[in-house]
Amino acid sequence: MNPAPEEEIGRILADEAVNRIGEHGEVGVLADAGPGLFEASRAGVSQRRKVLALTAVPGGNDDADRAFRLTRDLVRACPSVGLVVAFSPSAMSGGEAVLLSGRQRVKVIGVGEPVSGRRYLENGVAPLLIHWSARDLGYLTVYAAAFAGRHRPDPGADSIPAGRLGRRELCGGEIVLGQPIVERSRYP
d(CA 105, CA 60): 22
Q: Enter the pTM of the model.
A: 0.83
Q: Note the pLDDT tens digit of each residue in 151-178.
A: 887 878 889 999 999 999 988 778 999 9
CATH 3.40.50.2300 residue ranges of the chain are 6-132+179-184
Give pLDDT tens digits along the chain (188 positions): 888 888 888 889 888 888 888 666 677 776 555 556 666 666 666 665 543 445 555 554 567 888 888 888 888 888 888 888 888 787 788 899 999 999 988 999 988 888 888 899 999 999 999 999 999 999 999 999 999 899 887 878 889 999 999 999 988 778 999 999 999 999 87
Beta strands in 38-126 (DSSP E): 53-57, 81-86, 107-111
Correct CATH for 6-132+179-184 of 3.40.1160.10, 3.40.50.2300, 3.65.10.10, 3.40.50.10470: 3.40.50.2300
Strand order, beta sheet including 167-171: 159-161, 167-171, 174-175
DSSP state of 151: S
